[in-house]
Amino acid sequence: MENQVSTFLPILAYSGVMIAFVVTTLALTQTIGPKHETVVKNMPYESGMDPVGDARQPFDVKFYLVAILFLVFDVELLLLYPWACSAYAAEGGVPAELRGPVFVVMLVFLATLGIAYVYAWKRGVFRWR
C-alpha cells in the first residue's frame, strides 16, 4: 500500500501546484487587474469589424441545407472509416463469415448516401445564385 502512495505522490503534488497556480492567477487578476469599462470594450467584437445591423437577421435556407449535408456525410465517414480499417484485418476485424453480408450492408449504405447526394444536386442545393 505504501508503494502505491509513493507512486502517485508526484502526480498529486503536480496537480496541487497546478490548482494553486490557477486559483492564485484568477484571484490576482480579479483583485489587482485593471477595471476600465468603456463603450468600445462593451461592444460586440466580430472578426475585427464593427457590428452593423441586427444580429438576429434570418439566414438563407441554403446555409442550413449545406450544414445538414455536411453532417450527413460526416456521419458517413464516422461509420465508413472504422469499417474500412477493420473489415479485412487479420485479428480483431470482422469475422470471415460475416465479411460478405457486412460488405453488402455497406454498399447499400453508400448507395443510399449516393441517392441523397444526387437528389440534393438535382434540387439545386449546391448552386449558389
In angstroms, what CA-CA distances link 95 with 57, 85, 102?
A: 53, 14, 10
DSSP assignment of 5-47: HHHHHHHHHHHHHHHHHHHHHHHHHHHHS-----HHHHS--BT
The predicted structure's pLDDT at residue 21: 98
Annotated domain spans of the chain: 2-42, 61-122
The model's pTM: 0.49
pLDDT band at residue 14 under the 50/70/90 scheme: very high
pLDDT band at residue 22 under the 50/70/90 scheme: very high
- Residue-wise pLDDT for 39-67, tens only, equals 877 777 767 676 677 767 777 777 888 88
As a whole number of angstroms, the distance between CA 33 and CA 27 comes to 10
